[in-house]
Amino acid sequence: MQQLKERSGLTYRELEERAARSGDVLARSTLADTLRRTSLPSPDVLAAFFRACGDEQRVGAWLDARDRTAADIAAVPATTPDLEAEARPQTEESTGSGGAISWGIGQSTTPHLVAQL
């Protein structure tokens, strides 16, 4: 979405005005918040944004991609990593590594899903 906004050359105000002409509500503040986040935008915001950018012919495809991504996210179990356990050194007994010690820092089992629409 950020790339499309940059390619459009439109300001947040111009996008808001274009959305209003199409009958959509796309507040500048909502759009700015949406583009800063790593979470999925709502379907309404996504559709209004693409229409405002002049990409209305692909709104359906973007909404389908958003729905697939949302389904993938929902299918991932929500787990909280045990940060203390990750920071403890793991020995031969726990890793089977032949005596080597490795630190589990940064090896979270929590999946990080990055969706690029």
What is the pLDDT, as a whole number, of residue 78?
A: 65
pLDDT score of 110 more than 90: no
Dig out the tokens for 48 from the structure: 């209004």
- Taken in order 10, 114, 27, 51, is the CA torsion positive or negative? positive
Could you tell me if 50 and 62 are in contact, meaning their C-beta atoms sit under 8 angstroms apart? Answer: yes
Model pTM?
A: 0.59
CA distance 10 to 18: 10
Residue with tokens 């111009």: 14
* Mean pLDDT across the chain: 75
In b/e form, how buried is each residue of 73-85, taking b as 16+ CB within 10 angstroms?
Answer: eeeeeeeeeeeee
